[in-house]
């Protein structure tokens, strides 16, 4: 059947394209106007930055995927006390804001932390540690979904054929992993390469990535030529990774019943030690920062006026951008054509710093009103949260469309009638879930506020960043726990709805 773009889809595409043009356009104009500027200059310092970007992303991805895979295998073939609880704990980092994770990490390994001097917190080691904190659980979850997708009969058959652990891995597990591991790796590599807040807070002059360097060249030196050169590298890198990751970015692994097949392999003590070791090492990366946030934060919770005001701004921005994100995502996710897919990922492809600066240039003549700042932050947040919302909605649409597409076509259900009678009722849960997760994303996001920081908007993550910068560590601990708790609670609510909706 022909799937032409609906009006809503065209508007969404135009909106995203317009936002990008409004960002890149003014900077480009600025560049052309000043012919003496040395634009598109690729000097040695640029390649040093590219090299560091690749290095930290590669190491973070290798550790995350390697440990994540080992931990996922241990989870599928072991039963142990507290397994469900551990799995739930591993789901927490996904909902935590980057700045909270940085604080948690510093509270453990920083100079004033629990284990001072163990590792060099600023620079490569620190950046990798925090990236692994976020992405190891993600890698584990994706590997678990892949492994749980293997039919239970396969394990019964391999038992009958008396496969050894190694043979089982080679004949059963590896074939499914081989197709999904490159995509998981590319996804995590992309997230680490585009990571902004972690590198901004823990990096330094010799430890900086493309995204941060773009921000600094625009903010510190207003060197638009250099920013463009860096952006070209970043965009090329993102596009290459997206090409490798394919649809995995918004589809993930196929969702199965989630009930793993009962397994009888891995009984040798070597396998036991290996699985146990994988889980312990993974837990050491993931649990201490969360533990530190909780322990340091609990005694410091105090609802000051400053905090409530920041919370108010965050909720307002989070709510507005959640609605905008999901309105855009709805029509993009319905039929995920290549064009819709690329536009969905535009927040990953075009460096946000570039967009923010372009918008700022356009808006600076409109005087710095607070509402303008809010609108711009909401727009940037929505663009960055779009892939996450589209991922949830396209999964819902895929499930909903089973068989319905033909019936709707035959009965002539189009446009408003179809939206109101069929799509919306069936997509209610997915939509609400997408709203909640987009809300969590915006609530914890510091990137947009930092990029548009000169507009004087202090959200909860921005307040936390200020408190950390001014060594008000006790207040920071309290703010971090409140922010983390809020994000976790809303994300958990979204997760519960997914479970409740599984029978539809």
Partner 1 sequence: MITFKNSLYATEGFALAINLHVNANQFCAVLGPSGAGKSTLLSLIAGFENLQSGSICLDGIEATQASPSQRPVSMVFQDYNAFGHLDLWTNVALGIAPNLKLDAAQLEAVDKALDSVGIASLARRKPFEISGGELQRVALARILVRNKPILVLDEPFAALDPGLRKDMLQLVLELQKTHRLTVLMVTHQPEEAKKIADKIIFIGDGKVSDAISTAAFFKSTDKAVARYLG
Residues found near partner 1 in the complex (CB under 8 A): 1, 402-404, 406-407, 409-414, 417-418, 421-422, 425-426, 504
Q: Closest by alpha carbon to 109, among 94, 125, 95?
A: 125
| Least distance from partner 1 to the Cβ atom of residue 407, Å | 7
Nearer to partner 1 among residue 412 and residue 499 (C-beta): 412
Nearer to partner 1 among residue 169 and residue 335 (C-beta): 335
Nearer to partner 1 among residue 281 and residue 422 (C-beta): 422
| Least distance from partner 1 to the Cβ atom of residue 321, Å | 29
- Partners of residue 366 on adjacent β-strands: none
Q: How far apart are CA 501 and CA 504, in angstroms?
A: 6
| Least distance from partner 1 to the Cβ atom of residue 56, Å | 43
Q: Are 358 and 23 in contact (CB under 8 A)?
A: yes
| Least distance from partner 1 to the Cβ atom of residue 410, Å | 5
Q: Closest by alpha carbon to 477, among 107, 98, 96, 95?
A: 107
Q: How far apart are CA 189 and CA 181, in angstroms?
A: 12
| Tokens linked to 129 | 């540690």
| Least distance from partner 1 to the Cβ atom of residue 393, Å | 17
| Least distance from partner 1 to the Cβ atom of residue 504, Å | 7
Nearer to partner 1 among residue 403 and residue 499 (C-beta): 403
Q: How far apart are CA 228 and CA 442, in angstroms?
A: 27
Q: Are 210 and 237 in contact (CB under 8 A)?
A: yes
3-state secondary structure of 502: coil
Q: How far apart are CA 471 and CA 488, in angstroms?
A: 25
Nearer to partner 1 among residue 61 and residue 430 (C-beta): 430
CA atoms within 13 A on the CB side of 326: 24
CA atoms within 13 A on the CB side of 407: 9
| Least distance from partner 1 to the Cβ atom of residue 401, Å | 10
Q: How far is CA 446 from the centre of its chain?
A: 13
CA 170, 176, 179, 182 torsion: positive or negative? negative
Nearer to partner 1 among residue 161 and residue 409 (C-beta): 409
DSSP state of 169: I
Nearer to partner 1 among residue 77 and residue 334 (C-beta): 334
């Amino acid at each position: 059947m022909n799937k032409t773009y609906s009006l809503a889809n065209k508007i969404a595409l135009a909106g995203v394209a317009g936002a990008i043009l409004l960002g890149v356009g003014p900077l480009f104009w600025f560049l052309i106007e000043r012919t003496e500027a040395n634009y598109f200059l690729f000097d040695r310092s640029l390649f040093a930055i590219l090299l560091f970007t690749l290095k930290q992303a590669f190491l973070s991805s290798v550790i995350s995927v390697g440990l994540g895979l080992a931990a996922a295998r241990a989870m599928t073939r072991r039963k142990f006390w507290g397994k469900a609880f551990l799995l739930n704990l591993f789901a927490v980092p996904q909902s935590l804001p980057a700045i909270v994770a940085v604080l948690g990490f510093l509270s453990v390994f920083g100079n004033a932390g629990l284990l001072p001097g163990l590792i060099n917190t600023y620079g490569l080691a620190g950046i990798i540690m925090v990236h692994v904190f976020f992405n190891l659980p993600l890698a584990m979850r994706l590997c678990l979904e892949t492994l749980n997708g293997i039919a239970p009969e396969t394990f019964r058959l391999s038992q009958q054929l008396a496969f050894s652990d190694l043979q089982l891995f080679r004949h059963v597990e590896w074939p499914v992993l081989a197709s999904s591991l490159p995509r998981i790796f590319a996804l995590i590599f992309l997230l680490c390469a585009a990571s902004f807040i972690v590198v901004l807070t823990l990096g330094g002059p010799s430890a900086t990535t493309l995204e941060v360097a773009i921000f600094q060249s625009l903010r510190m030196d207003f060197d638009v030529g250099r920013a463009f050169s860096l952006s070209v590298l970043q965009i090329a890198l993102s596009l290459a990774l997206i090409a490798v990751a394919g649809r995995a970015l918004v589809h993930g692994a196929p969702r199965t019943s989630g009930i793993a097949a009962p397994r009888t392999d891995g009984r040798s003590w070597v396998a036991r030690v290996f699985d146990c070791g994988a889980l312990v090492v993974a837990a050491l990366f993931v649990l201490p920062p969360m533990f530190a946030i909780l322990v340091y934060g609990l005694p410091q919770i105090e609802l000051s006026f400053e905090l409530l005001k920041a919370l108010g701004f965050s909720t307002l921005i989070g709510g507005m951008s959640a609605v905008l994100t999901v309105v855009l995502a709805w029509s993009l996710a319905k039929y995920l054509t290549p064009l819709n897919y690329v536009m969905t990922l535009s927040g990953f492809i075009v460096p946000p710093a570039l967009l923010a600066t372009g918008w700022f240039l356009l808006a600076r003549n409109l005087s710095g009103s607070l509402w303008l700042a809010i609108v711009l932050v909401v727009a940037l947040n929505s663009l960055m949260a779009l892939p996450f919302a589209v991922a949830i909605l396209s999964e819902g649409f895929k499930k909903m469309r089973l068989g319905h597409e033909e019936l709707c076509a035959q009965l002539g259900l189009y446009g408003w009638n179809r939206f109101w009678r069929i799509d919306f009722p069936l997509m209610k849960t997915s939509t609400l879930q997408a709203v909640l997760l987009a809300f969590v994303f915006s609530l914890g996001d510091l990137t947009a506020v930092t990029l548009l920081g000169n507009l004087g908007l202090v959200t909860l993550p921005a307040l936390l960043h200020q408190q950390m910068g001014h060594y008000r560590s006790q207040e920071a601990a309290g703010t971090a726990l409140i922010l983390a708790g809020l994000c976790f609670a809303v994300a958990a609510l979204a997760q519960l709805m997914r479970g409740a909706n599984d029978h539809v």
